[in-house]
Structure 1
């Protein structure tokens, strides 16, 4: 099972993904951590590299039968398709989860007051979030609004979408 969390910075995807991971005993892959590791290793421009590494780590874990949660902005069709292709190639369930925060004031507050928990990671500005190229989805993901759902409520909705595990 592959669950891919997508959404703009500050939308709540990391909070929800971290709340869900223990329920599934899942491998948690955070693109921010991978990309910062690449920067720390001397790469000034990480581009697609963080996503490529996450896809490889996801594949290795899925091949072992481990559920995987990917936490990423996932802003473009190309990255979304790569996750879909991986799930299809391995014959595993893919659940795309888009996390939004429909309250602009709350979203801005989160972005501007967030505590960075990845050493060295530069927090985005509110303007960079507004300017982010985030393409519309070709097919509808499970959309969760963190302005109206607690992380626990969001997790309950996700778990309800998954097949019963034996």
Structure 2
């Protein structure tokens, strides 16, 4: 199975992905650290490192799916082209695809969570601003794929239990 975590930065999707990975168990492949590692390796930020990180994670996920493993991909996935990559990957490997979107219905909470982020280890990698997060929100409008939507105002264990039930493991 390919489980694709989606949602804006600061909603808690990585926290849920990590717990889901522990419960299944399944490897969690986060896109952001791959891009940060490219920058740390000296690849210029003007290069399409975001796209390259998606391609790298797609290749790794494909290898794991080929081995019969369930894989969890962790990324914003606000662009249709990103979500199509995961549809295509699941189809190529003839595995079930489950999208799990994490939202935060409480704007004040979302802003606090975003402001409190410090999850990268690469010097000079800026955390997203509220404005940049809001700009990405539009990428989710009109998205019609079947998906589970979890709200960050709910507790993590409850959201993980709902995700496990959705993927048929709870």
Question: Do both share a fold (TM > 0.5)?
Answer: yes
Query: How many angstroms does 1:135 deviate by?
Result: 3.2
Deviation at residue 53 of structure 1 after TM alignment: 0.5
Deviations 1:68-118 (A, max 9, x none): 111100011111011011011101111100100010000001111122244
Residue 97 of structure 2: aligned partner:
94
User: How do 1:127-146 and structure 2 match up within 5 A?
Assistant: 127-132=131-136, 133-136=138-141, 137-146=143-152
CA distance in 2, matches of 1:115, 1:38: 18
For 2:72, what is the secondary structure of its paired residue?
A: strand
Segments of structure 1 that go 5 or more residues without pairing to the other structure are none
Deviation at 1:162, TM superposition (A): 2.4
Written as runs of structure 1 = structure 2, the 5 A alignment for 1:65-76 is 65-76=68-79
User: What is residue 80 of structure 1 aligned with on the other side?
Assistant: 83
Q: Which moved more, 1:126-135 or 1:107-116?
A: 126-135
- Is contact 1:32–1:118 with CA below 8 Å preserved after alignment? no
Unaligned runs of 5+ in 2: none
- Quick check: 2:40–2:122 contact (8 Å CA) kept in 1? no
**1:164, 1:75 → 2: CA distance?**
26
Once residues 134 and 150 of structure 1 are traced to their aligned partners in structure 2, the CA distance between those partners, rounded to angstroms, is 26
C-alpha deviations, 1:119-141, integer Å up to 9, x for none?
33321111211222523213232
Aligned length: 164
CA RMSD after TM alignment: 1.6
- Once the two structures are TM-superposed, the CA of residue 164 in structure 1 deviates from its matched residue by 4.9
Decide whether the 8 Å contact of 1:96 with 1:141 is kept in 2: yes
Q: TM-score, normalised by structure 2?
A: 0.90
Change in Cα spacing, 1:159 to 1:63, as seen in structure 2 (3 Å) is same
Taking structure 1 as the reference length, the TM-score comes to 0.92
Instruction: Tell me, in whole angstroms, the C-alpha distance in 2 between the residues paired with 1:164 and 1:139.
Output: 21
C-alpha distance in structure 1 between counterparts of 2:31 and 2:169, whole Å: 28
Aligned residue for 2:5, secondary structure, equals strand
Q: Distance in 2 between matches of 1:19 and 1:164?
A: 13
